[in-house]
Structure 1
């Protein structure tokens, strides 16, 4: 079964990363901070999935 939560997190991260690349945004912008938060959420979710299965 597809993990929709993980797919949504990764999709949002890809969209934000594309925006940051196009605009050349610095590391301290809210978009880049959100990417960092998404990276943490993705890693935590993958760790939880590995522990469960």
Structure 2
């Protein structure tokens, strides 16, 4: 009886860990998307300002 109870506990713990991993990957995916957006906007601003400066100098 004790072995099956322990096995059940382990299975439940694994289920909890899997749920936590799902939440973790979802939040990290959102952070990655946000970071990618920031990098994209920054590179856009830099390229525009560089183009403006180069165009102004010539």
The TM-score normalised by the length of structure 2 is 0.43
Larger Rg: 2
Instruction: Pick the structure with more helix per residue.
Output: 2
Tell which has more relative contact order, 1 or 2 (C-alpha 8 A, sep 6+): 1
The TM-score normalised by the length of structure 1 is 0.47
